[in-house]
Amino acid sequence: MTAKTQIDIGLVLYPGAQISAVLGLADLFEIADRAAAKRPDTDLPRLCVGQWTFEEGRSLPSPPETGGDSDVLILPPTLNAPASPEAARPIAHWLRERHEGGCILASICGGAFLLAETGLLDGRSATTHWVYTEAFSRRFPRVAVDTDRLIIDDGDILTAGGLMSWTDIGLKLVDRFLGPTVMLETAQMLLVDPPGREQRYYSGFTPRLNHGDAAILKAQHWLQTTGARDTSLTVLAKQAGLEERTFLRRFHRATGLTSSEYAQRLRVGRARERLQFGTLPVDTIAWEVGYSDPATFRKVFRRIVGLTPSEYRQRFHIG
């Protein structure tokens, strides 16, 4: 089988697409293409980038000037609300047809809503921006959304999390088509980290408060006010005015977490603020947020954030 001499990458300009990400991706692939061309000892394909433009009221996009199908189609982020089902449907139909023809599909941030509308993510794991977790799960219940991860690469479909994760997905594709050496050269030229970060390094804990269960909301407010220092089932159930077994069931249904997990995330959130803006030792912070055992605190912090407290402070400290 003869290797491809050109990889056609299509950037999908749907209504509301973030133009800076589109232009940034085009620049990233141009830098990678130039780096690959300077390596005379390798037979690497050229990267050809074009834009497929959807306009309001059109079911098919205007193709790139180069014409022809793309090997990869990338859905950029949006600064607006994610596309509604009605707006996404014609784009999703076109994307599904391209995928059936062998095209790789990739989404960034809110672009995942367009990709999920195709049905191709059903039964798979996918990521989007962490602020969309609840809305995405509600709209696409058959997709296993994992917003702790910045990139999920399933081979034929890739999804990335935050607005700026276009750099990560761009470098991921450069690595796939041009190899790790060119990918690292491109990252160095752009002064960005190579792929390997996780979205949970950056995401904060946003409690679910609009569930409509007034009893559970009382317990949530009490946990927030007290810093989740007392998380015993007896105390929490009393705050909610519920029998203990009923409280456990309703708390999980309302928040998506057990009361212990919920309290841990509140405590870790407070610890992150102290690590980012203060200089207290980690052991002292552990005690302040409710952990008598610093080792337990470090274990919980790493499980939730993906970094140790010291690594988090080193990366994000302001002062």
Other Cβ atoms within 10 Å of 64 Cβ, number: 18
Per the CB < 8 A criterion, the answer to whether 187 and 225 are in contact is: no
* pLDDT value for 319: 60
**CB neighbour list of residue 74: distance below 8 Å, 6 or more residues apart:** 9, 10, 11, 12, 25, 106, 107, 108, 111, 169
| Two structure tokens written together for 48 | 């050809």
Lowest mean pLDDT among 44-53, 126-135, 215-224, 243-252: 215-224
Whole-number pLDDT of residue 203: 66
Mean pLDDT, the chain, as a whole number? 89
Q: DSSP state, 204?
A: P
Specify the pLDDT at position 175: 87
More confident residue, 62 or 245: 245
Confidence of residue 1 (pLDDT cuts 50, 70, 90): very low
Q: What is the pLDDT of residue 197?
A: 67
**pLDDT-above-90 percentage for the chain:** 59
Average pLDDT over residues 17-23: 96
Q: Domains, the chain, ranges and CATH?
A: 6-201 (3.40.50.880), 214-316 (1.10.10.60)
| Spatial separation of the C-alpha atoms in residues 67 and 182, rounded to whole Å | 27
What 3-state class would DSSP assign to 211?
coil
Question: Model-level pTM greater than 0.85?
Answer: no
Residue 288 near residue 274 (C-beta atoms within 8 A)? yes
3-state secondary structure of 139: helix
**pLDDT score for 30:** 97
